[in-house]
Amino acid sequence: MPESTRQTLPSGPTSLCFNKEEFMRPDFNVELFIVECRRRVQLETLRDDLALYLKILQSAMIELINKDYADFVNLSTNLVGMDKAINTLVTPLDQLKSEIQNVRGALDDAIAAVEVKMTHQAKIRQKKVCLQRLMNIVQSVATMEKLLGIPPPTPTGIPTPPPSPGPHQTKAPSVLPKDDEPSGQLIERVATEFNKLQFYVSKSRSLPMVDQIKPRIANITSTLQFSLEGLFLQGLETSNMPILRQCLRTYATIDKMRNAENLFRKHVVAPFMEEIINEPFIRTHPQGLRGMYAIVLDFIPKHCRCLKEVTAGSPSSGLEPVRGYEFIVNAVWPEVVSNIEAKIPVIFAPGNPNVFHEKYTISVEFVEKLERLCSSQASVKRLRAHPSYSTFMAKWSLPVYFQIRFQEIAGSVEQSLADPFASSADASDGFQLSASSATWLALQQCWQSDVFLAPLSHRFWKLSLQILSRYATWTAQVQKDLDELREAMSETVSLTPSPSSASLVTSASSASLTSVMVENPPELGNGDGSPSSHLPQISMTDVVRLVADIETLSNKVPEFFRSTVAPLFSDLGLEKSSLLEDGISEGCLQLEKHLPQFSNHIIEMLALQCCSHLKTVNDIPRLYRRTNREVPSKSSVYVTSVLQPIEFFIEEHSEMTSSANIVHWTKGILRCISEQYLTVTADVLTSVRKMEESLKRLKRGKGSSNAAQHGMSDDDKIRLQLYLDVQQFGQQIPSLWPEISASDIDNFDDLMTVVVNAKKGNSQ
C-alpha cells in the first residue's frame, strides 16, 4: 500500500496495545493479530483499546467528510458522460495494440534470421580455424620432413619409418647421410616447429585428417628423437657446451626433459655405476664401502660438470642457464640406489650391529656429501622427495638394529643384577658394585659414536630412562629386603641373652666381638627354622657401597647429559633440551629418594648392635647391692663394647664413602645409643630409688637406728658407677671421628644431666 495512504490513518494514544499500521498490511489476518496481542495483554484490555481506536476512526471519517463535503455532493454530477468518453478511447487503443503486435512479430522474425546467419557464420569461422590448423599441421609436417630429410610419403600416404637402433648402438641413426646429419641449430628449429605441431594437433584431435597424418607425425617424432639423442651423446662425449645447451634447450622445447635425464643415466651413469657398485670392488678396494662411495662422488664433478654448468649457469659464461633439469637427482641418484639394492644388498643386513652401524654411518655421510654437490637447496629438497631416497632409507632396518642393541645393553644390566653386590671389575669409573658399573656403562653405550644413530635418538633416550628406572627399581627392592632383614635382625638380637655379671669385670674377648661385627649378623638366613631364611644376604658393606654408587651415579648422569647427550640433540635441531634435562633429573631423584632409607638402615643396624651391650646396665645394681664392693673409680667394660661396632665400621668403610656420610651415620648411631642409654639409665635409677625407699620404710618399721652409716651406700655406688660410665661414653665419642663431639649428639646432654643430678642428689 502506498505510503501516502498509510499516513491517512489517524494516530491514537501511545498506551494502545497494538500498532495501528498492522491494519494496513496486505497480509493482515485477524486471528494472528489477536493471538499476537493476547501474548502481551489480556483480551479485556485488547477489547477496550480496539473500541477506543474505533471511536477515533469514526471521528476522523466524519472530519474527512465534512472537509470535502462539496466533492461528495457533486460526485454523481461529475461522473455524467464518463462512459461515453471511455467508449470513444477503446477503438483507437485496440488499433494501436494490433499495430504494436505486428511490429513485434516482424522484429522477432528478423532476430531469428540474424541468429541463424550468425550461427552459420560461427560454424564457418570454426571450420576456417580447423582448416587453418590442418593447413598448419600439414605445413609443419612437410617443413619438418624436409628439414630432417625424411623421404616423401608412399602412395598409401605413410612415409617409410627410419631403421631402429640395434641393441649395441648408442646413437640412433639419422635418415640423412652421415655428412648431412642435422646440426644442433637445425634440430632446435625442428623442435620449435614440432612444438607448434603438438599445439595444433592437441586442438584438432577429433578431425579425421589428423588420424591420417599421425603416422607421419610419429615418424617425425622418432627421427627427431634419434637425431637429438645422437647430438646429445656427441656433446657429452666431446664436452661440447654449445651442443649440450642446444640439445637441452630443444628437449625443454618439446617437453621431453626427462628423456634427456634418462638418456644420460642409460649411456653414461649406468655403465660407470655397474663397474663400481659391486661386492668384488668393495672387497678389493683398500677403503671398502667408503672407497666405493668416494669414487661415486668423484663421478659427479668429472662427468656432470658440463651439464651442471649448462643447467645451473656459470659466472664465467655469462649465458642464461637452461632450467628444469636435475641430472644428479633424476639420473645419478636413482642409478646409484638401484645398483646398491641389486648388487650389494648385504650392507643393509642388521645381523651384526657393529658392521651395520659402520655401513649405515658411511652411507649417510655419502648422502650428505651428495646433497652438498647439488646445485641449490631446491635440488636438495627434490632429492629428498625422490622415491629412490625413501626407498634407500627404508632399506636400513633401524628398528631391528635397535632391538639388537637393546638386548645387548639391557641384557648386560640384567645380567649384572643377577649378582648385583659383586665388586666392580673396573674401579676407574668410580663405582664399587658391578650393578652400578654396568648401569653406568649401559648409559654411556647408548650414546657412544659406534652405537648411537640419529634416527633412533628417541629410542635411545627412552632406553636411557628405562635403564635408570630399572636401577631405581632394583634399589627399591633392596630397600624392601633390608626392611625385612632389619626386622629379622631385631628379633634375633632380642633373643640373644645378656652377658653375665662376670663380663663386667673382665675385658671383652675378640671372639665376643665377632658376633657384633656388621658384616656377620647372628646366623641370619642360614638356619632352616629362621624366619628370615628366605631373605638374601646383604651385608653392611654392600649397603655402604650401594649408597656411594647411588651418589656417584646421581652426580655423573646430569653431567653426562650436558656434555654428551644434549649436544647430540642440539645437532638434531631440538631447542628445548630443558624438557630432557627434567627427565634426567626425575630419574636421579628416583634413585636418591632411597638414600635416607639406606642411611636409616645403616644407623638402625649398627645402633641395634651397639645397644645390645646396654642391657648390661641393668646388671649394675646386682654388682653393688649387698656385695660390699669398693667404691667405683672407673667405667665398666661394656662402655668400650658399646662403641666398638662403630669403630670397626668406620675403620672398614671410611674409604668406601664420603666423610659427610660417615659423620651423618655416626651421629645418627650415637643419637640412637644416647636415647636408648637414657631410657635404660633412667629405668635403673628409678628402680634404685624405689628399692632405697622400700628399704628405708622397712627399717623404720622394724625400729632400726637412723644413725648415719659409715662409707658410701650401695645405691650411691650404683649411681656413681652410672655416672662414670656415661662420662666415659661421652669421652670416647671424639675418638670415633675428628668432626664429631659429644655436644653434637642429641639426648646426650639429657643423659649426662640425669646421671649428674642422681650423683649430686645423693651426695648431699
Q: DSSP for 417-449, please give it.
A: HHSTTSBPS-GGGS--BHHHHHHHHHHHHHT-T
Question: Per-domain residue ranges for the chain?
Answer: 3-74, 179-397, 400-497+507-593, 610-703+711-763
Q: Which has more pLDDT, 141 or 450?
A: 450
448-482: string of b/e by CB count within 10 Å (b at 16+)?
A: eeebbbeebbebbbebbebbbebbbebbeebbebb
pLDDT at residue 709, as a whole number: 52
Asked if the model's pLDDT at residue 46 lies above 60, the reply is yes
Asked if the model's pLDDT at residue 154 lies above 80, the reply is no
pLDDT at residue 572, as a whole number: 85
Distance (Å, whole) CA 612 – CA 628: 28
Q: Nine-digit cell at 77?
A: 454530477
Asked if the model's pLDDT at residue 543 lies above 50, the reply is yes
pLDDT at residue 514, as a whole number: 27
pLDDT at residue 318, as a whole number: 64
Distance (Å, whole) CA 91 – CA 82: 16
pLDDT at residue 136, as a whole number: 81
Asked if the model's pLDDT at residue 29 lies above 70, the reply is yes
- Closest listed residue to residue 465, CA positions, set 439, 433, 491, 437: 439
Q: Which one-letter DSSP state was computed for residue 586? A: H
Q: Which has more pLDDT, 18 or 1?
A: 18
pTM of the model: 0.69
Per mean pLDDT, which of 183-197, 466-480, 675-689, 690-704 is the most reliable?
Answer: 466-480
Asked if the model's pLDDT at residue 513 lies above 70, the reply is no
Band of residue 547 on the pLDDT scale cut at 50, 70, 90: very high
pLDDT at residue 296, as a whole number: 94
Angle between helices 457-495 and 540-560 (to 10 degrees): 160
Q: Which has more pLDDT, 522 or 388?
A: 388
Q: Nine-digit cell at 133?
A: 590448423
pLDDT at residue 319, as a whole number: 75
Asked if the model's pLDDT at residue 164 lies above 50, the reply is no
Asked if the model's pLDDT at residue 87 lies above 60, the reply is yes
pLDDT at residue 492, as a whole number: 62
Average pLDDT rounded to a whole number, residues 604-616: 87
Band of residue 699 on the pLDDT scale cut at 50, 70, 90: confident
Average pLDDT rounded to a whole number, residues 468-495: 80
Q: Percentage of the chain with pLDDT > 70? A: 85
Average pLDDT rounded to a whole number, residues 258-265: 91
Q: Nine-digit cell at 646?
A: 662403630
Q: Which one-letter DSSP state was computed for residue 351? A: S
Q: Which has more pLDDT, 401 or 174?
A: 401
pLDDT at residue 311, as a whole number: 84
- How does DSSP assign 304-342, residue by residue? SHHHHHHHH--TTT-PPP--S--HIIIIIHHHHHHHHHH
Q: Nine-digit cell at 21?
A: 499500521
Q: Which has more pLDDT, 496 or 312?
A: 312
Average pLDDT rounded to a whole number, residues 378-397: 93
pLDDT at residue 171, as a whole number: 42
Q: Are 722 and 758 a contacting pair, CB within 8 Å? A: yes
pLDDT at residue 294, as a whole number: 94
Bridge partners (DSSP) listed for residue 433: 423
pLDDT at residue 692, as a whole number: 80
Residues whose CB is less than 8 angstroms from the CB of residue 23 and which lie 6 or more positions away in sequence, other chains included: 9
Residue 215 exposed, middle or buried by CB count within 10 Å (0-12, 13-18, 19+) = middle
Band of residue 102 on the pLDDT scale cut at 50, 70, 90: very high
Q: Are 472 and 590 a contacting pair, CB within 8 Å? A: yes
Average pLDDT rounded to a whole number, residues 422-449: 88
Q: Percentage of the chain with pLDDT > 90? A: 27
Asked if the model's pLDDT at residue 708 lies above 80, the reply is no
Average pLDDT rounded to a whole number, residues 743-761: 82
Asked if the model's pLDDT at residue 303 lies above 60, the reply is yes
Kindly report which listed range (32-46, 318-332, 442-456, 570-584) carries the lowest average pLDDT score: 570-584
- Closest listed residue to residue 229, CA positions, set 262, 269, 274, 186: 262
Q: Identify the three-state secondary structure at position 233.
A: helix
Band of residue 524 on the pLDDT scale cut at 50, 70, 90: very low
Mean pLDDT of the residues in the chain: 81
Q: Which one-letter DSSP state was computed for residue 452? A: -
Asked if the model's pLDDT at residue 173 lies above 60, the reply is no
Band of residue 451 on the pLDDT scale cut at 50, 70, 90: very high
Q: What does the pLDDT look like over 194-251, one tens digit per residue?
A: 777 777 777 777 777 777 777 887 887 788 788 888 888 888 888 888 888 888 888 8
368-404: string of b/e by CB count within 10 Å (b at 16+)?
A: eebbebbbeeebbebbeebebbeebeeebbbeebbeb
Average pLDDT rounded to a whole number, residues 546-575: 89
Asked if the model's pLDDT at residue 384 lies above 80, the reply is yes
Asked if the model's pLDDT at residue 511 lies above 50, the reply is no
pLDDT at residue 156, as a whole number: 52
Q: What does the pLDDT look like over 644-683, one tens digit per residue?
A: 898 898 888 888 888 888 888 988 999 999 899 899 888 8
Kindly report which listed range (235-244, 607-616, 697-706, 715-724) carries the lowest average pLDDT score: 697-706
Q: Which has more pLDDT, 122 or 174?
A: 122
Asked if the model's pLDDT at residue 711 lies above 70, the reply is no
Q: Are 244 and 307 a contacting pair, CB within 8 Å? A: yes
Asked if the model's pLDDT at residue 409 lies above 90, the reply is yes
Q: Nine-digit cell at 553?
A: 651415579
- Closest listed residue to residue 217, CA positions, set 149, 135, 161: 161
